[in-house]
Amino acid sequence: MTGKFRGVGRWLWLSLVILCGTGLSLRAQLQPTFGNFSVGRGEVLKHSDNQNNYTDLGTISYQSFTLDAGLEASSVFTWADAFDNPKTGLTFLGSRFSDPSIDYVLGLLVFISKEYALFNSPVFWYYHVGYGLTYTGNTFNQETNYSNETVSTRVNASTNLRTGLGIRFAENWRLRLGGSLLHSSNVGVRKPNFGINQYELMLGLGYQFRADKPPLEPKESTLPEQEFLLMGHIGPRQVAYEDPYLAVYDIDVEYNRMINRVIRLGLGMTLMEDGIAYEHKKYLEPVEGEVYESLGFFEALTFGTHLNLELAFNRLSLVGQVGYYWKHPHRDIRQEPNLPVDYSEYMDYHNEHYIYNRIGYRYRHKSGLVISLIGKTQLFKIQYTSLGLGYSF
């Protein structure tokens, strides 16, 4: 694929991996249980790589709607009771922006939600967590749409968090008032990728189609209580807009243990090459009279250790990691006597405290093979997404 559809095609493949993996672990009966319709409004910030040179880039106002459809899930959701048996379903959402640099956003997300009655009254507190894909009407283009560098791909990954208060009335009706955050970005597939953060106040009306069923019976996990895991990842990374795509990779070794039926905790170490050699060559210019020496293979490698936390949905799990670089090329580069100010500032922005994070999915096949889709960040700033293959001992 070429042109503007290149990013869309890449995301379609990643979506198929996620959906196929989910389908192997979860089943849902497509029977509606409730519906919620909400409206809201808010503002988002414009972004630019040169934002430090401007005091105010301005904001973009928008109006939005969400339509939540609850779906009855089968007892294969063995994790449900650990989260107090939340409701599950699909969300269709849309936003219309006042500035053509974004234009509109449409999305489809899966969610879990739960209501808790306050003091045995009709008033309740609720939470709502959703994840899925959104489609943006307009994206950054250096020639035709350069005033806002928020997103550069039409298809993006999105996370939706909501909380607030509601009241039940007329038996099956609910009125809700709460806050919502919707974050949309392409997880580093293409630069620029500041992302769209939609903070808003929402008013919603809901209807309960069917009575809540009794809590699901917990089922024991078929996975081993502990494991040694060997993983390798590879993926594309674009350091900055118009830069070539680099092949980045890592090798991980982990020890993990099930704390209970749904939480897996462990420690790991990783050796990675994430584009440091290219960054060094691009941003560190030799002074007059000196000859540039690129980083060697071993000089460009980083080594770190991390804490691994997983929420297990049978064989599919949601992964979160926080780690620290014990070996990083930038530590040696900082000692160079003629370090340019621009490169020093660049390192401060991308490698502050030498903390890295990863979040994504893992699927453990009964044969021991493990497949993963992981996004790697630097102090919570997304860098790239990679596909992994490994084995669990």
pTM: 0.75
Same fold, 23-208 and 226-392: yes
CATH code for the domain defined by 23-208: 2.40.160.20
Helix and strand numbers, DSSP H then E, in the chain: 4, 16
Residue 179: closest CA among 40, 35, 62:
40
Q: pLDDT tens-digit profile of 242-292?
A: 788 888 999 999 999 998 778 899 999 999 988 877 776 666 655 555 555
% of the chain residues with pLDDT over 70: 72
Q: pLDDT tens-digit profile of 180-205?
A: 999 998 888 888 888 888 999 999 99
**In this structure, which CATH number among 3.90.1070, 2.40.160, 2.30.30, 1.10.390 belongs to the domain 226-392?**
2.40.160
Q: What are the boundaries of each domain within the chain?
A: 23-208, 226-392
The pLDDT value given to residue 305: 96
Tokens for 109? 């997300």
Q: pLDDT tens-digit profile of 226-254?
A: 999 999 999 998 877 778 888 899 999 99
The pLDDT value given to residue 288: 55
Tokens for 169? 């009335």
Q: How confident is the model at residue 88 (pLDDT cuts 50, 70, 90)?
A: confident
Lowest mean pLDDT among 163-167, 172-176, 217-221, 371-375: 217-221
The pLDDT value given to residue 112: 86
Distance CA 196, CA 209 (A): 34
Q: How confident is the model at residue 66 (pLDDT cuts 50, 70, 90)?
A: very high
Q: What is the mean pLDDT of residues 372-378?
A: 87
Amino acid at 131: Y
Tokens for 272? 């990675």
Distance CA 119, CA 28 (A): 33
Tokens for 146? 């350069």
The pLDDT value given to residue 57: 65
Q: What is the mean pLDDT of residues 38-58?
A: 68
- Within the chain, residue ranges assigned H as helices are 5-25, 276-283, 329-333, 341-350
Distance CA 352, CA 347 (A): 7
Q: Is the dihedral of CA 321, 157, 144, 46 positive or negative?
A: negative
Contact at 8 Å (CB) between 378 and 356? yes
